[in-house]
Amino acid sequence: MTRHLTKVAATLLLISTTLDPLFGQSSEGLRVQLDEIAKAQVEARDRFTKDLEGKVTEQEQQPPIDRFHAAVAKHTNLILDLIQANPTDPAVVDACNFVIKTARAGPGEQSYRALEVLLRDHSRDPGMGELCRGIFFYVHSPVAEALLRSVMANHPNRVDRGWACHTLATFLKLQAKMVRRVRKVPAEVNRYVHEHHKEATERLIREADPTALEREAEALLERIIAEYADIKGRDETRNLGMIAAGELFAMRNLSIGKVAPEIQGKDHEGKTFSLSDYRGKVTVLTFSGNWCGPCVGMYPQERELIARSEGKPFVLLSVNSDSEVETLKSSIDSGKVTWRCWWDGGMEGPITSRWGISSFPSIFVLDKAGIIRFRDVRGDELDQAVALLLAEASAEKDFSN
């Protein structure tokens, strides 16, 4: 059904699936009311999902979107009023966390109010490290950055400080990416600027040094390895040290213009092969998996790219992150995947972890010398990148002759 949704509706549907409350234990006053409102929000989410069924055009989808936005505003405002009335209740951090997650699905400013409450009165409270993990996407918000820095510097619990440190590193990397992107394409600012922090965002884009932001992020990752390496999250099998090591590796080795690091592993038949085996060919390298909808959505284009490049110095390779090798075998046997893959044994496999991959699909386009020339290009941009590098390879061959 989601393939027929407009971009806005599909995004809201994806976000809204994360809104189910995951609250711990606290006093019954705020907790009971919080749980009741959270239940009402889940019901609104379910109605939104049902209302979208059969709706294809933006005009058809707008009324359900408007109703869902209204529910988000109603429920988050109710919770913010409860927080104001119960400022010392042990459930305040959970309540703010719910507001921040829920308000992502609406156009209002409730999440910013919740961040301000946390920064003002609760940055040392239990659970702040886990909450910090969910606010890295507020890269335009100076309040979010200040909260991360406060938890990292002042929280009495080492685990909370460690997760705040990691989130701040991610936050700074995303800020650097935002600054570079908007300076290159000014219209992209509309993807980031929220009226609540418009002036601060525009000032950051105008004045920030993205290289300095990345240097600080690297220093934070090094600090994690030195001080917080053993910490694990609730849903993590890797510890923070392993995660930070991969992210440092990515920052230092996977930028455009670098020679792609070696990859060696086994395919679905257990046969070992290496990335360097294909040196001399233009290479599209993806980190993918059959569990990932956008990855599977790229399969037809990838098959067409291979067919169109037959007889040319081109190869498409993938690091597959399915947890079971049989899943990869099935996709190959069915003809959905027609290229060679390393099977990495899951999203936290050794190749994926070493390269610091955190989003799927991740795409690297290498020239025949193995240099990373493009990253995370899709659709027409991917086709154009391959065509450009093949043309370069052909011109070099003609010149050498």
Per-residue pLDDT at 364: 98
Give the pLDDT confidence of 204-235 residue by residue, as tens digits: 999 999 999 999 999 999 999 999 999 986 66
Q: Which two tokens mark 251?
A: 């920052």
Give the pLDDT confidence of 43-88 residue by residue, as tens digits: 998 998 888 888 778 888 889 889 998 999 999 999 999 999 999 9
Per-residue pLDDT at 19: 44
What's the chain's average pLDDT?
Answer: 89
Q: Which residues pair with 272 in a beta bridge?
A: 266
Q: What pTM value is reported for the model?
A: 0.81
Q: Which two tokens mark 99?
A: 């507001």
N-term to C-term CA, the chain: 54
Confirm if 367 and 258 have CB atoms less than 8 A apart: no
Give the pLDDT confidence of 258-316 residue by residue, as tens digits: 999 999 999 999 999 999 999 999 999 999 999 999 999 999 999 999 999 999 999 99
Per-residue pLDDT at 116: 94
CATH architecture of the domain with residue range 259-400: 3-Layer(aba) Sandwich (3.40)
Per domain, the residue ranges of the chain are: 1-122, 136-253, 259-400
Confirm if 90 and 59 have CB atoms less than 8 A apart: no
Give the pLDDT confidence of 15-55 residue by residue, as tens digits: 454 444 433 434 457 999 999 999 999 999 899 888 888 87
How many Cα atoms sit within 13 Å of 279 on the Cβ side? Answer: 11
